[in-house]
Amino acid sequence: MSLWTSAEIAAATGGVASGDFSVSGVAFDSREVGPGDLFVAMKGEASDGHLFLDQAFAQGAAGAIVSEPCDHPHVLVADSFVALNALGAASRARSGATIMGVTGSVGKTSAKEALFACLDRAAPGAVHRSVKSYNNHTGVPLSLARMPRDAVFGVFEMGMNHAGELAELTQLVRPHIAMITAIAPAHTAFFRDESAIADAKGEIFAGLMPGGTAIVPYDSPHRDRLLGHAAPHAAHIVTFGSEKGADVRAIEAMRLPTGGTFVTARMGQAADHELSFTIAQPGAHWVSNALGVLACVQAAGSDLGLAGLALAELGGLQGRGARSMASVGDGEILVIDESYNANPSSMRATLSVLSHEPGRHIAVLGEMRELGDASADYHAGLVEPILAARVEMALLVGEAMAPLAQVLEGQIETVHVGDAATALATLRTLIAPGDAVLVKGSNGVGLARVVAGLLSGKN
């Protein structure tokens, strides 16, 4: 069964097809095009996808959406970006799947992947989700356009860094179930305070389908604000958390020797409806993520028991908690890869995970970006969780880390460098077998290079 025929693409986008063809996938990055894909050639500020048409077809593209005539099988449209949105909307309109939307200041990609794993355990091969972190104005329609015709569940991550962005994305996704993982100081350069971030995240509920369910973090200080956003649009509101009063609540959480957590959760207000399960990933933040995910699974009518098994087997994601052993000298070190993103809340959560690891604790921390005028205070404020995590050596990367370097001076060994390449070279002179090394920072700092260098043994 093809994903799209040229006639369907033309009908969805208002374009004109050069001939008959069918595609099995969709991509807008020519480097990701594979056999049978539809390549959407978009014009951006830095590049023009039309320049890569030959490359895309050499890699096996079966057709393209273009805004300029070409010699390859194509659908000609006025604007390729508008056409991609239209194709995403057409995919959503034809789908009979139960659609779920996930957002939050922290944890949304991890929660999306966990939710996919839980649903896929019950409906193998019938669950579609956003890949990577394709959660913006181009990533969301792309993820929708890729959804198979016969998908039973669709899980879509939605992100934002300005007010109004989620309002647009949620109207495209139109979820049956919408979850907010947590509210935290992220992208604060664009918001007056955390309550404004909560308001922007609460926009996700405006796109709920009639009869839809809103999943809200009960422990959040912004709970009532989020409930206020959900109330006008949701037929059902389910809260999750560890505090009494949450609908889906952890009544027991016990750390395991393996680093994970054994949890007993009450799945609703009935005292006799409980679920015990293990979370493979360490940290209190993963307990919260899991409760939200299980609330979604329950709202979707899927199997909670199988979801619990999936959580027990869930591995860490690259850049978001993946744990690996790297060879150093005649031994090994533990590398915790949190290099994809960072804000004050996620920094604290991940440092807490490091605190439980054996061996010497080394924290490679990159600057947190888009924090606005409060950036210096947010960075300096990491001193408490760093000391609580028993970090013995802090390697700080980026200019914005200067305030933290100043307050750490004299308390623990601290090295402050300007970039990821210097950080890797410096780290190689400091590490020894038995160390536990946490690598975390905003993606733009490039600390993934540090992780790759440690795992490969190369600078």
Q: Which amino acid is at 220?
A: S
Contact 96, 103 (CB under 8 A): no
Kindly report the number of other CB atoms within 10 A of residue 45's CB atom: 5
Q: Is 109 annotated as a binding residue?
A: yes
Contact 384, 330 (CB under 8 A): no
Contact 108, 97 (CB under 8 A): no
Q: Is 103 annotated as a binding residue?
A: no
For 105, the 3-state DSSP assignment is coil
Q: Which of 10, 13, 14, 35 is nearest to 25 (CA)?
A: 35
Rounded Cα–Cα distance for residues 281 and 261 (Å): 8
Q: Is 106 annotated as a binding residue?
A: yes
Q: At what angle do helices 284-299 and 108-122 cross, to 10 degrees?
A: 50
Q: Is 110 annotated as a binding residue?
A: yes
Q: Which residues of 376-404 are buried (b: 16+ CB within 10 A; e: fewer)?
A: eebbbbbbebbeebebebbbbbbebbebb
Q: Which of 216, 220, 277, 223 is nearest to 247 (CA)?
A: 216
Q: Is 102 annotated as a binding residue?
A: no
Q: Is 105 annotated as a binding residue?
A: yes
Q: Is 444 annotated as a binding residue?
A: no
Rounded Cα–Cα distance for residues 259 and 237 (Å): 32
> Pairing state of beta strands 261-267 and 274-279?
antiparallel
Which contacts qualify for 33-36: CB closer than 8 Å, 24 or more apart? Answer: 33/59, 33/60, 33/61, 34/59, 34/60, 35/59, 35/60, 35/62, 36/60, 36/61, 36/62
Contact 261, 278 (CB under 8 A): yes
Rounded Cα–Cα distance for residues 320 and 236 (Å): 31
Binding-site positions read: 104-110
Binding annotation for ATP: 104-110
